[in-house]
Every structure is written in C-alpha cells, then in structure tokens.
Amino acid sequence: MPVNMTRLANGMTVVSDQMPHLKSSAVGVWVNAGSRSEEANEHGISHLLEHMAFKGTETRSAVQIVEEIESVGGDVNASTGIENTSYFVRILEEDLPLAVDILGDILANSTFDEEELEREKQVIIQEIGAAYDMPEDRVFDHILEQAFPDQPLGRPILGTPETVQSFSSFDIDNYMATHYHGPNMILAAAGAVRHEDLVELGEKAFASFSMTPPKDLPIAHYRGGESRDVQKDLMEAQVVLGFEGRPFTDDNYYVAQLLAAIMGGGMSSRLFQEVREKRGLCYSIYTFHWGFVDSGLFGIHAATAAEHLEELMPVMIDELTRVIDDLTPAELNRARAQIKAGLLMGTESPSSRASQLSRQVVLYGRPRLLEEMEETVADVSVDDVKALAEKIFCHSVPTLSSVGPVRKLMRVDEVASRLGSTKPRT
C-alpha cells in the first residue's frame, strides 16, 4: 500500500494511505491530548473543546460548518479519548480541499462564543446524566477510577456537571494554547487521496500552529481496588474484574491482546464457553485489553442476574488460572486469526485506516507495515501467553467494579487470595 509520511515545518505530521479503488476519503486531525492531559481543575475540558470546535469560527457559523460539508454529501464528527482527541471528515475525492480547510478552520479559528458555550455546557451535562443512567457505562468509569485513583487517567472523560459548568472561553483558549501545537498533531487521511495534495493543503490550513514541543503526560500508577455501587432496583448486575495491562509500546502488548482474545474474545473463547454456554451464569461476558502510553488495563466484563453472582466469580477465577496450565496451540492460532482479521479489516475502511495510521505515528513515530504486525503476532508462542497470563492474573493487584444488585459479589480481597496475588491497599 502507498503509505506516505511528511513532517511540516511546524512539526505537524501528515500521513496518508492512497486506496486507488475508492472514490471517497476519510481525513482527520488527531491531537495527542485527551482527558489524561487535564489538570484537576480542567476535568472534562478536552471533551468540551471537542464540542465547541464545531460552534463557529471567525469565518463560519456553526450552521455553515455542517452545511458546507453536508452540501457535498460528506459528514463531520469528533471524538475525545483518554490520550487523544480526533476531528474527522468523510468526503468524496474532489472535496478533500474543503474538508482540510474546515478542519483547519475549526481548530485554528474557533471563537468559543459565550452564548454557544453556555448552551453546549447544558448538552454535555445531559450527556453526563445519560451516562450515569447506563450501568454498563458507569461500571467502566468505576474500574478506571479504582485502577488509577487520584490520577487524570482514572477520571471520566466527560467531566462532572460542576467542572463543566465552571469553564469559560478563556479556559478553553488556555488549554488549546498548552496542547494544540504542530508536534502534537497529526493530519491523517486514507482512501482517494494523493499525499502531495494533502501536504499542500495541510501546510496552508495549519500554518498558524507553532513548533512548541508537547507537554509530558503525568506518569500512570496502577493501584487496584474495589468499587461497589449497589443498586437494588436494577435487574442485572454489571461486573468488571481488572488487572494491570501492558502499554502500547511494550514487547508484550500483542501477547496481552492474544490473551484477551483467548479468554473472552469471541463465542469460542474460554470464558464465553464455560461461563455462558456451559453454565448459563451470565447473559454477556467478554475480555478487553486497553493499552496506554505507559500502562494498560486487562479486564473481564460480565452482565448477570444477582442470583448467579456467588457462582460467577469463582468460575471466572478458575478459568484465569487454568489457562496458565493448559493453553493449547489451537486456541492461540484462533486468537492470531482474530487479530490478523481485525488488522486487515481495518485497512478496508478509510476511517479505520486513517485512525490506525495516526495511532501508529504517535506510538512508533511512523506507520507500521501490516506485515510487521502480523510477524509480531505470529512470533508469540504458547509459553509466551502462559507466562504473561501468570504475571497478569497472579502477580497484578486486582481491581473490581460492580453496579447493580451486587451485595453477594465476592470481595476484591478474596479474589486476590484465590489468585495468589497481592491485595489492594485500603
């Protein structure tokens, strides 16, 4: 694939993957600043900024921004994450100049009008309320809060009603001035795009951003602990059991991804077969591994009825320890196939591919060839996965979060005892 990368004079990276068979492209700006970049008094400002970027610039009103994109059949959106914020447009080939111009405009020239700001604060406060009303969302906020307490990494991305209400246009300007600089930004595109055109458009649209180097993130410290949010009126209990994972750049990152696939990555996985299919102890169960720049979180999520909680956790723990002893080559090969398919399928979607490229530039300083990643996964052995499973499950302090009718759920100290791991500090 013709993947190209260029660094602009202001330090901004431009990366693209031309996909000749497509007539459309996905183009976006990825900024290496998210909720983890916030000071305590800035909690939620990354997400508020993402919303406000579409609320008007010096030359376009909020309505004009969306009308110009939708008048040519495109769409525009944005997303705030823990370690980055992205602004992206899906557009037809001939409308790439418009897409880049609008992206540059909303990031360089937003006015952050006070009336628009007050309206958007209320929208986000409603969004926070909606998330609180979703137990499956709340349980994931709690697991991060317990795994990384008193740290930006452990705080919910949306902020709180109090912090969101406190922000002014001046606060947003200051946050942008701290984090939105050329070296901290990536212009990425995939699909019907010529790299030299993208570079030329990027140089013009983002010329005002400075060469200021990025600010270092606060170091993550995984702690572990427990959050138990008892809600008797709910029919279903949401449970997440977590452990310290591996950073994106760690040699064992893909080993952890394979372990997650083996334990709960599909209907053939160990936890799905044992917990759901054979015993009927839950409606849903799956595993995940979130990699961050310098840490990670490996977790198991289960949704079940209150009467199954006492049996659920011992069965889960048995499966976590059993994989250390009897993992088979066939299971590892299935997990490899899942990851390979995911990598390849990601290249078939321009939006996924542009996001993939930007993430690779952040983590490795360059796009990684698919063959490199496939080789990395292929080199992982059964013994590698067993060794990491023992480190994660038996030597990492566990974290447990739950929401719903969870009074009968095993305590995190007993989870640690059964695994032979260290108990969380109280």
- Split into its structural domains, the chain has a count of 2
Helix, strand, coil in percent for the chain, rounding step 5? 50, 20, 30
Instruction: Tell me the CATH number at 99.
Output: 3.30.830.10
Active site residues: 50
- Could you tell me if 183 and 59 lie in one domain? yes
- Could you tell me if 198 and 109 lie in one domain? yes
- Could you tell me if 354 and 324 lie in one domain? yes
Residue 220 lies in a domain: no
Residue 217 lies in a domain: no
Residue 32 lies in a domain: yes
Q: What letter would DSSP give residue 96?
A: H
- Could you tell me if 70 and 199 lie in one domain? yes
Q: Which domain holds residue 51?
A: 3-205
CA gap 138, 136 in Å, rounded:
6
Give the end of a domain, one of 143, 172, 205: 205
- Residue 99: the pLDDT is 98
Residue 215 lies in a domain: no
* Count, residues in the chain: 426
Per-residue CA distances from 365 to 26, 84, 121, 350, 354 (Å): 21, 15, 36, 21, 15
- Could you tell me if 193 and 295 lie in one domain? no
Per the CB < 8 A criterion, the answer to whether 113 and 172 are in contact is no
Burial class of residue 259 (count of CB atoms within 10 Å of its CB; 0-12, 13-18, 19+): buried
CA gap 346, 358 in Å, rounded:
13
Which residues make beta-bridge pairs with 288?
A: 299
- Could you tell me if 19 and 151 lie in one domain? yes
- Could you tell me if 30 and 159 lie in one domain? yes
- Could you tell me if 275 and 306 lie in one domain? yes
- Could you tell me if 280 and 200 lie in one domain? no
Residue 210 lies in a domain: no
Sequential pLDDT tens for the chain (426 residues): 579 999 999 999 999 999 989 999 999 999 999 999 999 999 999 999 999 999 999 999 999 999 999 999 999 999 999 999 999 999 999 999 999 999 999 999 999 999 999 999 999 999 999 999 999 999 999 999 999 999 999 999 999 999 999 999 999 999 999 999 999 999 999 999 999 999 999 999 999 999 999 888 889 999 999 999 998 889 999 999 999 999 998 999 999 999 999 999 999 999 999 999 999 999 999 999 999 999 999 999 999 999 999 999 999 999 999 999 999 999 999 999 999 998 888 888 999 999 999 999 988 889 988 888 889 999 999 999 999 999 999 999 999 999 999 999 999 999 999 999 877 875
- Residue 1: the pLDDT is 53
Sign of torsion over alpha carbons 183, 189, 195, 196: negative
Give the end of a domain, one of 145, 174, 205: 205
Per the CB < 8 A criterion, the answer to whether 100 and 187 are in contact is yes
Per the CB < 8 A criterion, the answer to whether 212 and 185 are in contact is no
By C-alpha distance, which of 197, 187, 201, 191 is closest to 26?
Answer: 191
- Residue 426: the pLDDT is 58
Residue 216 lies in a domain: no
Q: Kindly compute the dihedral angle of the four CA atoms of residues 126, 128, 130, 131, in this order, to the nearest 10 degrees.
A: 170
- Residue 421: the pLDDT is 83
- Could you tell me if 200 and 251 lie in one domain? no
